Amino acid sequence: MAAHSRLHDPHAAEVAHQFEDPEQQREADSLGMWTFLVTEIMFFGALFAAYVIYRSLYPAAFETGSHLLEVKFGATNTAVLICSSLTMVLAIYCAQTGKSKSAIITFLVLTMLLGAAFIGIKLHFEWFHDYSEGLVPGINFNLAKYGSGVELFMVFYFFMTGLHALHMVIGLGILTVLVVMTARGRFSPRYYAPLDISGLYWHFVDIIWIFLFPLLYLIGGRYTHGGH
Amino acid sequence: MSTAVVEPQHVPSGSQVNYLNATYGIKSWLLTTDHKRIALLYLASITLMFFVGGTAAVLMRLHLIEPQGALVQPETYNKLFSIHGIVMVFFFLVPSIPATLGNFLVPLMIGARDLAFPRINLLSWYIYITGALLVLYAILTGGVDTGWTFYTPYSSTYSHTHVIAAALGVFITGFSSILTGLNFIVTIHKMRAPGMTWFRMPLFLWAMYATSVIFILGTPVIAITIFLLGLERILHVGIFDPAIGGDPLLFQHLFWFYSHPAVYIMILPGMGVISELVTCFSKKRIFGYSFVAFSSMAIAVISFVVWGHHMFVTGQSIYTGLVFSVLSFLVAIPSAVKVFNWTATLYKGSISYDAPMLYALGFIGLFTMGGLTGLFLASLATDVHLNGTYFIVAHFHYIMVGGAVMAYLGGIHFWWPKITGRLYPDLWARIAAVIIFFGFNLTFFPQFMLGYLGMPRRYAVYPAEFQVLNVMSSAGASILGIGYLIPLIYLIWSMRYGPIAGPNPWGAKGLEWQTPSPPPTENFEEIPVVTEEPYNYPGTEVPVRG
């Protein structure tokens, strides 16, 4: 009987009652996260589709809107996020290879700092700036100055980057939990599934940004001087 | 279906510890992570929503007894059909079989102790309840009048009703579907008992799997669409409203990208139930197991590429229409495969007409009618005439009520002894099934004629020459309403006074019948080992393969 065999398993505490063994649990957790990421792709996918349709309907307005964004902040944030993916992987690697708790925590905290830096740059240098320029639809958008096509671009810009930032904030929450779990010695080379699947989530949020950055910041031949 | 290592235990239930009496108190229910208890939480909630939506329908039918309207103001009528649609689609039909029978049966049928993520399962119920409360709030504070489709720009600009609350409710409830689908997919992939190969799974599980795929791929799209609608309504930016630069057709594309597959979310689980009922009550193996299994997957896949048939007359290009028309016809193939295979399963079976079987037979006939009339609507030319008429209303009620609700009730009657450990009064159950069948046909068959003659849907008044058919439909609706109340009464009665069922009152195959009724909290004393093909009823066995 399964309950009986668990008595002799030193890692029984980590196996939830519905699973037979740690391997089954690990596979289920991993597949669960992948399935969740599929729903996320459909979630953002619908937005991307709507964005692409309006970009083709209003190409000029969307280019104008895109040029109101600061590429240097978008590019900085891209670099910040890619670095945070690296530190995330290093945290998982440390758990996998049985490095010390403090090594795992260091990399997790670094990941959190980079994530926070992303949100800070987004908020302080971009969104607040956009607000002062009268670019926030529904709040202070200057319709007379920019026109309704640019407004539509800014709707998508704020919705897409806002939804992405919300995912970042959720990611920071997850990382906080992971830090606590690591400090309590919950992870070992045999069991680090929460780190693993949280890593999947973190990378996914990064990849969304990798698509958002060119889609929002780099359209309209910004660097082909006078090309249009 | 399969032989377990454990023999069914012939201990009378009630004297043993099971999932119902293991713990007591309201907290043990509201904080439970047992898939069987969560199934019952869902059962209670969706039954409540069913009667909310049903009440709106009864009021509509009463109103339509007279050509000028007998009961309410036109504005109220608009709210009634909107409430009926929103509640029935998003809060009854979509979760109906997956969240109740699916939740209860998926782990039992594959020989697992629970779903892969029990806490997420409980979370999905709380999300559902939050969405349902928002919609009930919208109803109680004045209603919503956009129809269940929330078409823009009416919903985003012109309606003065509680669109935001209702839309938010739909948005939130979507996440409960996503979590249920995610749980089922992982559970079916990773938690099957030893020997339970994919092709030994009961067909109900194939249907649940196909439904889950639609849940996770379709629901996020409706969520984001509803969100954009809310943004437009709150911020007054032109996402969908053409007056301020938006594109209303985009809303319809995104809406139907989910809502057409959602039709299969509602009917696929029903098809899964029917496969179980038809085999059990004709005591035969299913005819063409793999065809039935793969037709579920085919329906799930094709369902994502037919949405444009809802938009033949909206101004999408005629060539787009042509392609969507052809693709829509394709859905008929896997659907017909199922109907033919159920019928072939009946052939030379030892058929017994217990209440669940009556629902199953009703389903096969009504679903066939609903499906065939769907072909009229998939044809471009006939759709131009029939679009927006009662023909559409009749068509989808034959699928949704004649199909999905009949299958749901059939499934509830079939697994009730397993869920509660008690039998219900058989004669009453058969009488109710027959009343529902006749009430249903009297309600909706006249609507085919009304639609063909040109009566538009969603109108509070109609020309006098349509009165006879409308009165027939309303009379049928009252019979149908009574038909639905009878099971509510005797099923609740049976929970206390029904005779003890025993582990397997129907002599059915399947792992769920090899554990006591009601099952223990852990489902099985010992995880069973499966050695047989499914539906291996005595006399029709095939030798063990591989």
| B515 close to B524: Cβ distance less than 8 angstroms | yes
CB interface of B with A, residues 340-379, below 8 Å? none
Q: A152–B237: do the CB atoms touch at under 8 Å?
A: yes
Q: What is the CA radius of gyration of chain A?
A: 22
Place of tokens 């235990």: B9
Given B118, B216, B527, which is nearest A2 (Cβ)?
B527
CA pair distance A136, A128, nearest whole angstrom: 10
Q: What share of chain A is helix, strand, coil (3-state, %, to 5)?
A: 80, 0, 20
* pLDDT at residue number B3: 40
CA pair distance B347, B134, nearest whole angstrom: 49
**Closest approach of chain A CAs to the CA of B237, in angstroms?**
7
Q: A39–B237: do the CB atoms touch at under 8 Å?
A: no
In the DSSP assignment, the letter for residue B307 is: G
CA pair distance B8, B260, nearest whole angstrom: 43
**Residues B254-273: what's their mean pLDDT?**
96
B190 touches chain A (CB under 8 A): yes
Element (H, E) at B109: helix B103-110
Mean pLDDT of chain B: 93
CA pair distance A114, A83, nearest whole angstrom: 7
Three-state DSSP at B487 gives: helix
B288 touches chain A (CB under 8 A): no
CATH 1.20.210.10 correct for B30-514: yes
Instruction: Using the predicted structure, report yes or no on whether residue A180 has a pLDDT greater than 60.
Output: yes
Instruction: Using the predicted structure, report yes or no on whether residue B531 has a pLDDT greater than 50.
Output: yes
> Could you tell me which residues come within 8 angstroms of residue A224 by beta carbon, excluding any fewer than 6 positions away?
none
Q: Return the closest-CA partner of residue B125 out of B42, B15, B211.
A: B42
Backbone angles phi, psi at B153, to 5 degrees: -85, 0
Kindly list the domain boundaries of chain B, sorted by start residue: 30-514
Instruction: Using the predicted structure, report yes or no on whether residue B1 has a pLDDT greater than 50.
Output: no
Please list the residues that pair with B422 across neighbouring strands. B500
Q: A39–B115: do the CB atoms touch at under 8 Å?
A: no
| B112 close to B194: Cβ distance less than 8 angstroms | no
Element (H, E) at B183: helix B163-190
* pLDDT at residue number B542: 61
CA pair distance A145, A138, nearest whole angstrom: 15
| B244 close to B238: Cβ distance less than 8 angstroms | yes
Confidence of residue A3 (pLDDT cuts 50, 70, 90): very low
Please list the residues that pair with A217 across neighbouring strands. none
Please list the residues that pair with A191 across neighbouring strands. A188
Instruction: Using the predicted structure, report yes or no on whether residue B91 has a pLDDT greater than 60.
Output: yes
| B375 close to B342: Cβ distance less than 8 angstroms | no
Angle between helices B103-110 and B406-420 (to 10 degrees): 60
Q: What is the DSSP string of B374-411?
A: HHHHHSHHHHHHHTTBHHHHHHHHHHIIIIIIHHHHHH
What single letter denotes the amino acid at residue B11?
A: V
Dmax (CA) of chain A: 75
Given B114, B216, B238, which is nearest A18 (Cβ)?
B114
Instruction: Using the predicted structure, report yes or no on whether residue A223 has a pLDDT greater than 80.
Output: no
The model's pLDDT over B413-433, given as tens digits with 9 standing for 90+, comes to 999 999 999 999 999 999 999
Structure tokens at B530: 């499966």
Q: Tell me, what's the ipTM? A: 0.90
| A158 close to A65: Cβ distance less than 8 angstroms | no
In terms of pLDDT, which residue wins out, B85 or A2?
B85
CA pair distance B143, A117, nearest whole angstrom: 45
Q: How far is CA B198 from CA A30, B2, B22, B530, in A?
A: 20, 13, 33, 12
* pLDDT at residue number A222: 58
Nearest CA in chain A to B225: A46
**Closest approach of chain A CAs to the CA of B185, in angstroms?**
8
The CATH code that applies to domain A22-217 is 1.20.120.80
Instruction: Using the predicted structure, report yes or no on whether residue B313 has a pLDDT greater than 80.
Output: yes
CA pair distance B329, A82, nearest whole angstrom: 47
* pLDDT at residue number A219: 87
| A214 close to A222: Cβ distance less than 8 angstroms | no
Q: A47–B525: do the CB atoms touch at under 8 Å?
A: no
Q: Return the closest-CA partner of residue B375 out of B327, B317, B424.
A: B327
**Residues B454-470: what's their mean pLDDT?**
96
